[in-house]
Every structure is written in structure tokens, then in C-alpha cells.
Amino acid sequence: MDNRPEFHWGVATSAQQTEGFPDFQGRTPSIWDVFAEKKRKITGGHRPNQATEFFRYYREDVALAARLGIPNLRFSISWPRVKPNGYGKTNENGLDFYDRLTDACLEFGITPWVTLYHWDLPQILQDKGGWVNRDVLGWFEDYSGSVLKRLSDRVVHWMSLNEPLAFTGAGYFLGIHAPGKTGLSNFLPAMHHAILAQADGIRQIKSYKSNLIAGTTFSCAPVVPVSTNPKDQGAALRADALFNRLFVEPLIGYGYPIKELSFLRKVGKWMMAGDESRMIELPSFIGLQNYTRETVKHVWWVPYLQAKKTENSSNPRNKTMIGWDIYPEGLYQMIHKFSAYPEIKSVIVTENGAAFPDQVDAGRVNDKMRISYLDQYISATLKARAEGAKVNGYFAWSLTDNFEWSEGYFPRFGLTHINYATQRRTIKDSGFWYGDYIRKQTQST
């Protein structure tokens, strides 16, 4: 008899990448709406205004997932749709939409998994400093409380933040994502406040109702040195601490990885009494999101890390459309790495997928490369589970093609093709394959 926890099969989406209707029924601009208006910020000058019009086609998309036999759907709540002023008065029209979406999931026999923050901070809050402003903790609590009050009678599985390293690192240090801020003076407070918020969010969810399952999600990637040179090995240790440990270790009580990342000592400027304990809140599960791997080498001129990414493979057969390495062993390694923390009870792969140049031909999308990709990565996940890793779910990214942040609409990650001119949906061969795979797996257990 298999006494392991149930394995959750699903697909993932997010509000900013799919909903569209950015100024409809009271919604105000997010940082991504504003960021996309700036010249040369998004590939092709694309904007998320239309996206897949999920706000209009949500029932059709939920029905697509049901048709494929996918039992779990992860989606996020649009903060500016629920709180047009960032905090305070709630937009009931916004919450009404998530009522309808949740009810549609349940009607079609699909379990909803909700992410509270998936990068769409209201611009009105960014004008006050955004994640750099410690007040964001109160704003987030106010917003989250309104969502929990409305949906917690039907939604059991919750995530506080999506990939905090991505939205703080790319948005507040490198400036390549919204809101386009740069430098350590922006990154460190944004990072610290996000670390506090992820714990606060988990606490808030767990305390709201005893049956709620509260987690958060992390981007991750295996990091290896380019050589056995001690300097390259040191560079890999620092990069691993940044990419894979920075946000999870404070959450589970280990504190900041200052030994490897000495620049983190500067975060003391933004630390307040009680923060070290406030950062800690053991989650019911953590979500892992893996898309590639990183090989690094030591370079003296890169500030703070003295590490630089290098090319893993020049073979295009081993890469996705946007140049990410196809390396299922990496997901396998990350599952084992995070499972090794005694404090982590359960790991769910909450995102994994690939972009390929899909085309509709005679009503069909023959995306055999994506099928191969999914087969390899799911096999890696199940191999880790068979070896005793605490992995209890796999969610493919994504149900449909969508707005892929700074890459615009060019990369297509979906199991369903979107014709953005007509909004026509076409299930790809990979979508049918994934549904068949899930059915076979659930029938055999």
C-alpha cells in the first residue's frame, strides 16, 4: 500500500499574464501595465492589456482544463482588481470575478489553488515606494484579508508569493522587470520586505481557518561551477545561495545566508526589532519552479557575487525557444535539495514548462518537442518521489499561451494555443498528451 500523500496534477496561470481588461470595473493599473508602456521595455512593444482575455473567457478555459482531465488549476488574484487604491476599500466587482472563477472550477470538478501575489503590485502603491516601503506589509495584509474573507470557504490551497527572488531581483536590482528599479539600495529593502511578507502571508492564511493549506513558491535552478578551480567553486556556492537559498532559509528558521553572501550584512539598515522571528513561518508546502540550470565562473568585476553565468550548451536541440537549457536532471536535483530540509513537509512543482515555436496547421498544433520536454521533466519528478523525496505534485506552465513578462507574447508556453487576433483556443498535442498521462497515472494508483 502506498502511504505517501496524494499527488496533485495540475496547470498554472497568473492574473497579469492572462486576464486583460486592465481598466474594467474599477481595476487600476499595475506596475506591469505601466512598465509595458515604457519604450524598449517589452519585446515587440507588447503590453498585457489584452493578454488572453481570461477575464472574459475564464469559463471556456476552465472547461478546457476539465476536458483534458486536469484536476487542479493554479491561478492568482489581481491585487489592483481587488484593491484599486492598493489598500482600504475593496472593489466588490473584482472579487465577484474570482467568485465566479472559483465556482466555475468547482462546477467542472477542478480544485482551485490560489496565489495571492504574482507580481502585479498596484502602481498606486509603487508610487509610494512599492516593496521598498515597509508599509507594503500592511498593504499586503489588508489585501490578502479581503481575498481570504471572500474565497476561503471554497479554496483550501493557498500560496502567499510567487518567486520573490524574481520580482525583487529583476524588478528592484536589475531593472529588467517592473517596476524597473536598480541597485542594492532598492533590492535589499524589497528583498527583506518580501521575506517578511511571505511569512506573514502564510501565517495569515493558516490563522484564518484551520483547514487551509498555506505555502509559497520559489524559482530555483541547479548551479555548478565551470571548473574545479576553487574560485569557480566559490562562485557557484555564492550563486546557489542567491538563487536557491535566499528566500527559503529565512522562512524555515535558518536566517540569511550571510556566510556566502556578505553583502546581506547591509540589510541591517532595514531590520527592525522582531524581524528575525517574524521571517519564520513553516509552510504546509513549498512550490518549486524550475526551467533551466546555471553554470557559473568566477569573475572579479561582477559586484557582490563575483560570479557570472556561462553557456551550458550550444546545441539548439538542448534549448527551448528562449535559450533555456533542457535539463530535467536539474528539476530532479532541486526536488531532492529542498526535500532535504527537515522543516519542509511537502514540495509541489508549481511551475515547469517550455516555449517552442508552435503553429496551428489544419486545426492542430503538433508540438512534439514540448511533449518530449514534459515527459522528461515529469519522469524526473516521479523518480525523485520514488526515491523518497517529499514531492507531491506537478503543475505544468501553462494552461494557455500568455503574456510572458519582458518577452511579450513571442514565447508560447501553453498547452493551448492562443490566436491573439481572434482569441481562438486550440488545444495542442501536448495538452492532449498531458491529460492522457494524468489519467494513466491516476488509474494506476
Report the catalytic residues. Answer: 163, 351
Sequence-ordered list of residues with C-beta below 8 angstroms from that of 337, at least 6 positions apart, any chain: 220, 222, 244
3-state secondary structure of 217: strand
Sequence-ordered list of residues with C-beta below 8 angstroms from that of 174, at least 6 positions apart, any chain: 182
| Residue 60: alpha-carbon gap to chain centroid | 23
- How does DSSP classify residue 315? -
Q: What is the CA radius of gyration of the chain?
A: 21
Give dist(CA 26, CA 391) in Å, integer: 40
Q: Of 222, 257, 262, which is closest to residue 241 (Cα–Cα)? A: 257
Q: Of 49, 50, 74, which is closest to residue 61 (Cα–Cα)? A: 74
Total number of residues shown for the chain:
445
Instruction: With beta carbons less than 8 A apart as the criterion, state whether 315 and 321 touch.
Output: no
Give dist(CA 439, CA 425) in Å, integer: 22
The cell numbers describing 417, all together, are: 494555443
The cell numbers describing 87, all together, are: 489598500
What sign does the CA torsion over 244, 247, 249, 254 have?
positive
Q: Of 219, 99, 92, which is closest to residue 166 (Cα–Cα)? A: 219
Alpha helices in 349-417 (DSSP H): 368-386
Give dist(CA 49, CA 317) in Å, integer: 34
| Residue 354: alpha-carbon gap to chain centroid | 14
Angle at 59 between CA 358 and CA 51, to 5 degrees: 45
Instruction: State the angle between helix axes of 54-68 and 429-444 in degrees (0 to 180), rounded to the nearest 10.
Output: 50
Secondary element (H or E) of residue 275: helix 275-278
On the 0-12 / 13-18 / 19+ scale of CB atoms within 10 A, 227 is: middle
Q: Of 163, 142, 160, which is closest to residue 198 (Cα–Cα)? A: 160
| Residue 132: alpha-carbon gap to chain centroid | 20
